[in-house]
Structure 1
Amino acid sequence: MKTNVGTIDRSLRIAVGLILIGLSLSGTIGLWGWIGVVPLATGLLRTCPAYSLLGINSCKRS
């Protein structure tokens, strides 16, 4: 898989994912908070299938 998620984008995805999962575990939000697994996974893997389909790349060009 080709890397298409840049550093800032990656950091935001990981933070949002962890926050959503944490809120779900604490009972603040419902089960839908587990959707945070998606941004967490795309941030950790540095690739986003939606970005690939749309032709978006937030990585710096070399």
Structure 2
Amino acid sequence: MKTNEGTMDRALRVALGLVLIALAATGAIGVWGYVGLVPLVTGAIGYCPLYALLGVDTCPNRST
């Protein structure tokens, strides 16, 4: 899997995932908050399957 998320994209995903999970754990938004696992995991590994399907790549150009 080639990384298809840039640094800012990854940071926002991890932050959003952590916020949603914390809200679900405290009971503020219910169990649907555990959907935050998806952006958390995709941000942590740097690969988004939906981006791959749509041909989106937020990584800066690589000089390779």
After TM superposition, the score normalised by the length of structure 1 is 0.98
Structure of higher CA gyration radius: 2
2-side partners of 1:48 and 1:27: how far apart? 28
Equivalent residue letter for 1:41: V
By how many angstroms is 1:11 displaced? 0.3
What is the count of residue pairs matched by the alignment? 62
Instruction: Give the Cα separation in 1 of the matches to 2:22 and 2:30.
Output: 11
Q: How does 1:9-48 map to 2 (within 5 A)?
A: 9-48=9-48
Percent identity of paired positions between Structure 1 and Structure 2: 55
Per-residue deviation at 1:20? 0.1
Q: CA RMSD for the aligned pairs?
A: 0.4
Distance 2:54 2:6 in 1: 16
Measure the CA separation in 2 of the matches of 1:48 and 1:25: 25
Residues 33-61 of structure 1: per-residue CA shift (max 9 Å, x gap)? 00000000000000000000000000000
